[in-house]
Structure 1
Amino acid sequence: MKTFKFFQYAYLVFAVLFLYDAIANWGDSKAYMSLLLGATAVFMFFFKQRFSKKIENKDRK
């Protein structure tokens, strides 16, 4: 179960990397793709976190 928590925070690391890439390539069309991928990574972080809490609560009952 601890590996799932590691992957949750890996999504945040990827979001920061994509944000940096978007800023570095701001004038290019590649920046929009990086912003989209960064937003997706943030969404996946919160989705995985919520899903993990649901599984923990289910196991306790």
Structure 2
Amino acid sequence: MGYLKYTPYIYLIFALYFIYEAIVKWSDPEATPWLSVMIAGLAIFMFFFRRKYAKKMQDRNDQS
């Protein structure tokens, strides 16, 4: 399961995409960039949450 330590970085890729999308939508008066900003914020939160949880599980496995 070595691939699981790389999966949180997918959230960073999503966050970068949605930040880019929000910047592009910001100049269009009919577009709603706030949804993209919220999704990017959620993706960044999930990155840190998954990374912390994975570290906690790794420490638990090292102790046993």
Q: After TM superposition, is the score higher than 0.5?
A: yes
User: Amino acid of the residue matched to residue 15 of structure 1?
Assistant: A
Give the Å deviation of 1:47: 0.2
Q: Work out which of the two has the higher radius of gyration on C-alpha atoms and give 1 or 2.
A: 2
State the distance in 2 between where 1:2 and 1:10 align.
15
Q: Which stretches of structure 1, 4 residues or more, deviate above 3 A after TM superposition?
A: none
Question: What is the identity percentage for the equivalent residue pairs of Structure 1 and Structure 2?
Answer: 35
Higher helix share: 1
Which structure 2 segments of 5+ residues have no match? none
TM-score norm. by structure 1 comes to: 0.91
Q: TM (normalized to structure 2)?
A: 0.87
Structure 1 unaligned spans of 5+? none
